[in-house]
Amino acid sequence: MAQRLHIVLSEETTKRYLKLAREKTEGEINEDCEPSGASIQIDIWHLENAVSIEVGSDWIDIGEASVDLIDA
């Protein structure tokens, strides 16, 4: 049976992501650069699922996500 990984950011994590992504994009536009987008990383562990966003050369923890394996 086929399965899919369903990942949902928490409300607070989504807020943090949007704030940091917006700041990054605005900074790039103000410097006459084409916006590069925003990269996120999701670490799936047995206790929690951590979400980080890349800002410059750093990864900043922005919260948690729920991760479920569902039937396709």
Per-residue confidence band for 72, with pLDDT thresholds at 50, 70 and 90: confident
Instruction: Round the average pLDDT of the chain to a whole number and report it.
Output: 94
Is residue 1's pLDDT more than 90?
Answer: no
Dist. CA 54–CA 39, nearest whole Å: 6
Average pLDDT of the residues in 37-49: 93
Is residue 52's pLDDT more than 90?
Answer: yes
Dist. CA 22–CA 16, nearest whole Å: 10
| pTM of this structure | 0.84
What was the pLDDT predicted at 56?
85
Average pLDDT of the residues in 1-17: 96
Q: Which residues contact 2 (CB under 8 A, 6 or more apart)?
A: 71, 72
